[in-house]
Structure formats: structure tokens, C-alpha cells
Amino acid sequence: MAITEEARRNHEELFPGRVSTLQVTDPELFDYFNNFAFDEVLRHGSLDTRTRLMVQLASMIASQALSEYRVTLGAALTVGVTPIEIKEIVYQAVPYVGMAKVLDFIHATNEILTENGVELPLPGQSTTTAEDRAEKGLAVQKAIIGAEVIEKMYASAPADEMHFQRYLSANCFGDHVTRTGITVPMRELLTFSMLVSLGGCEPQVKGHVSANMNVGNDRAILLDVVTQLLPYIGYPRTLNALRVINEV
């Protein structure tokens, strides 16, 4: 099987002049994977290239795919994803994937940005303070998830678990989601991509399918995202994501 001209063109757009080691050592796999990921899959849906790469980067962090992340990050810079957008993808991963798993991606991101002439640290994007993070976080949480849902979560939480609800509002939403640099709808797509890619998070995926709908990301967009993640996360997690989308 030879690589198609469309796959070759799309691959070259993202990785100009790059020769993959797989092309030398595993040419059959290289050809049919690239025909699938860079031709067949790209024929479906309407995600622009920047959005596609952003959700794939988020997915790769959740999947702990550091090598593929490094390569894709270079492609993202090539097509115009900004350093601030890239940093916000990594920061958004912290509350969902955990700092222990994200730390290596922060260092890799800093290394690649520096190699590309980006001066660090980047301008800050935080909009909250220690004093108002809980209040602002709760407000944006209610706006995204729904006030009735959040109030019910607080009302039904046992006393010895209430701190988790407060952490969600102040830390997950107050520290992270209130940041600038990328939009709330994009943050929800990134979160959806991470949860789908982590696996075993179907209840949380279900909540963030609804949240995506609330911020304007409809079923078609979510299906487009899952389609573009498929080559990198495999069929089981893809089919689980489809089941949850259909349930919602």
C-alpha cells in the first residue's frame, strides 16, 4: 500500500521536510496509518486545522503520549496555534489529568517554545485572586454546567465530602477555567478530549457533553472531535465516547 497524495500533502503541511523513523523501519504501518489519519479521517467533519491539533494535543497529554505530543506541538506552531494557546492547553490539563502526569508535558512545552524563540514566562492569563477565586469559579461553573445542577451537587454532598465541591468551584473552575488565552467553548472541547482519552471517566464525559452543549458545541462538533482523536486513542475509547454522546 502506497501513501496517498492527499495524505502526503496533509502530512507535509504539518511536518514540512520531516522524515519519520517509522517510514524507514515500518513502511507498511507508516503508509496505512498516514492514509487513515491524514486522508480518510480528515475527510470527515469541519474542524479547522488549529482546532484539530489543539484537541489532539489535549488528548495526548491525557494519554501520556509525550513523544507524539512533542511532534504534534511543532506542527501546531507551524499552523499558527499561539504559544499562549499551547500553554493554556497544558494548564487546562492539570485539574483533569493531574500535575503528576502533566509535569513532563510542561517541561517539554517550555523546551520546544524556547527552541522556537519564544521568551518565557508568557504574559499571565489569570483573572482571579486568592480572595475571589471561589466566587468567580462558582459563577462560571454554574454558567457552564447549569446553576440547578451545581446547587444540587452542593445540597446532596455529605458533610465530609463538601470540600471536594469547594475545590471544584475554586480550583478547577476558579483557578483554571476563568483564565483568558482561549475561549470557554474551546476549554470545554479540550476537557472533553482529555476525559475521553483518559478512559474510565464516562460519568465525567457525560457531564461535559452537556457542558459543551451549553456553551454552543453541538453534537456535530463533538463527533468531529472524536473522529479526529480516533487514530490516537483507538476504537474502545472512541466507541465509549460515542455511547455517552448518544445517551446525552
> Other CB atoms closer than 10 Å to residue 196's CB: what's the count?
31
pLDDT at 18: 83
- The long-range contacts involving 124-128, CB below 8 angstroms and separated by at least 24 positions, are 125/84, 125/87, 125/88, 125/179, 125/180, 125/181, 126/175, 126/178, 126/179, 127/178, 127/179, 127/180, 128/174, 128/175, 128/178
Residue-wise burial string across 129-164, b where 16 or more C-beta atoms lie within 10 A, e elsewhere: eeeebbebbbbbbbbbbeeeebeeeeeeeeeeeeee
Residues 72/59, Cβ–Cβ less than 8 Å: no
> Other CB atoms closer than 10 Å to residue 55's CB: what's the count?
24
Residues 17/78, Cβ–Cβ less than 8 Å: no
Summarised one tens digit per residue, pLDDT across range 9-49 is: 999 999 998 888 898 899 999 999 999 999 999 999 899 99
Return the amino acid letter for 187.
R
Q: Residue 226 above 90 pLDDT?
A: yes
Mean pLDDT confidence for 154-159: 96
Distance of CA 8 to the CA centre of its chain: 25
Summarised one tens digit per residue, pLDDT across range 66-83 is: 999 999 999 999 999 999
> Other CB atoms closer than 10 Å to residue 5's CB: what's the count?
9
Predicted TM-score of the model (pTM): 0.96
Mean pLDDT confidence for 76-99: 98
pLDDT at 20: 87
